[in-house]
Structure 1
Amino acid sequence: MESEALEREAGASNDGSAKRRQITDGARSVFLTAGFDGASMNDIARAAGVSKGTLYAYFNSKDELFEAIIRGEFAQSAERLCVFRREGDARDMLMDFGVRLISRMSEPGTRALARVVLAATEKFPHVGRAFYEAGPLYGATRLAAELENLEKSGALKVPDPERAAWQFVDLCQSYVYKRLLFGVVDSIGREDIEASVEAGVDVFMKAYGAPQRPV
């Protein structure tokens, strides 16, 4: 009897997770199409294929739902992104990470979500904080830890790894990503991303590269 009860509980939990995913998938499409202000809970319920009562059983408000989408969007992708290359030297690691980072940021869905967040943040600051914590802060914190390891190994000279991590991300974005985010261009190619990241790595290594030992 106890095992049957546990099975029922597990099944209910799985059903709840699937329903929650169904709702967030439908809501994501509405937010990206209509923007935060333009999205209504009625539209979201319709897109998700659930009743409005079911929607509110999982999420108390539109901004709570949007925050859940943001955190879910970055949870797995951030972990995959922040696996750092071990082959090669510090420059190779930075180049690999920078290209993967800007490629991810440049994907249509990612940049569309960023625009919706920027528009919603003035009214709902916690939405902006969720985006910041789940994306930029997570990545910069993981990169800072990697830079600290490279400092300890003598590969880099980085007195403030946290500051250096943010500087590196900004260097990689620079020209290409900002034009994309603000609609100056519709897309950027792999070559442009690699060129931007390489230029950023050049500047970073000049600032933080370990002094060459005399032969």
Structure 2
Amino acid sequence: MQTTLDRPKADDALDSAKRRQIIDGARSVFLAQGFDAASMGEIARAAAVSKGTLYVYFENKEELFGALVRQQCALTAERLFELDAENHDVREVLRRLGLSFIEAMTEASHISTVRMVIGSAERRPEIGQLFLDAGPRSGIRRLSVWLEAKVAQGELAIEDVEVAAAQFLSMCHALVMMPVLIGGERPPGAERIAYLVGRTVDLFLAGYGPNALASKQV
């Protein structure tokens, strides 16, 4: 028999499921039509809910798009930036992160989301700011925490971990993201990506790694 204490949990689960249903429907409409052309009525139909139900969960299209962006960015961040500060193989941690980061940045759904944000940013800069906060800036913050731990452990020599985190992530995708995003090119093959990440890690450690640490202590 269901008790009173059980019901809030069940309600929360149903509420979360309904939100996911709406966000999934919105994603399909936004990807097909873009942010500006999409309407709440079309999103309600795609999500198989009434407009009344849709407005219970989201006040307007901007709020719904924001929830979609935050959800996608959060899932990506959780997958990429679970970095173990007790893993002392710094090179390997950075290598794995670089490979995963490029894979995530060149996923079709991510590319489509970035294109939508860019297309809307001039008229709605708040959309661009939301994406920056939930995506790139969040990734930099998460990587900064790990880099700071490595500095404290004496394994890296970094004066500004936020700048270093941004440098690493930017170097990883610099030769990959723009051709895919703007030029419509296919992502490079695994061998090329591994080479680019390897060179990025080499350069990063040359500037911030054990050898750099030793030279700064002389």
Please give the alpha-carbon distance, in whole angstroms, between the structure 2 residues aligned to 1:66 and 1:203. 37
Please give the alpha-carbon distance, in whole angstroms, between the structure 2 residues aligned to 1:183 and 1:56. 37
Aligned residue for 1:49? 48
Letter in 2 for 1:174: A
Residues 25-174 of structure 1: pairs in structure 2 closer than 5 A: 25-84=24-83, 87=87, 89-174=89-174
Q: Percent identity?
A: 42
Q: 2:176–2:187: 8 Å Cα contact kept in structure 1? A: no
Q: Deviations over 1:152-179 (max 9, x none)?
A: 2222211111111101111111111211
Task: Compute the displacement of 1:132 (Å).
Answer: 1.4
Q: Deviations over 1:105-137 (max 9, x none)?
A: 111111111111111222222222221122211
Mean Cα deviation higher: 84-93 or 113-122:
84-93
Q: 1:151–1:158: 8 Å Cα contact kept in structure 2? A: yes
Please give the alpha-carbon distance, in whole angstroms, between the structure 2 residues aligned to 1:117 and 1:48. 21
Aligned residue for 1:177? 177
Q: 1:106–1:188: 8 Å Cα contact kept in structure 2? A: no
SS of residue matched to 2:168? helix
With normalisation by structure 2, the TM-score equals 0.89
Change (3 A) 1:60 1:202: same
In the alignment of these two chains, the number of paired residues is: 213
Mean Cα deviation higher: 166-175 or 69-78:
69-78
SS of residue matched to 2:159? coil
RMSD (Å), alpha carbons = 2.1
Task: Compute the displacement of 1:87 (Å).
Answer: 4.8
Matched, 1:205 2:202: no
SS of residue matched to 1:159? coil
SS of residue matched to 2:94? helix
Structure 1: gaps of 5 or more residues: none
Please give the alpha-carbon distance, in whole angstroms, between the structure 2 residues aligned to 1:128 and 1:121. 5
Structure 2: gaps of 5 or more residues: none
Please give the alpha-carbon distance, in whole angstroms, between the structure 2 residues aligned to 1:183 and 1:39. 25
Q: Deviations over 1:33-53 (max 9, x none)?
A: 111112111111111111112
* Deviation beyond 4 Å, 4+ runs, structure 1: 85-88
Mean Cα deviation higher: 138-147 or 124-133:
124-133
Q: Deviations over 1:20-77 (max 9, x none)?
A: 1111000011111111112111111111111112111111110100000111112233
Q: 1:174–1:196: 8 Å Cα contact kept in structure 2? A: no
Letter in 1 for 2:170: D
Aligned residue for 1:20? 19
Please give the alpha-carbon distance, in whole angstroms, between the structure 1 residues aligned to 2:24 and 2:167. 34
With normalisation by structure 1, the TM-score equals 0.90
Q: 1:176–1:192: 8 Å Cα contact kept in structure 2? A: no
Aligned residue for 1:193? 193
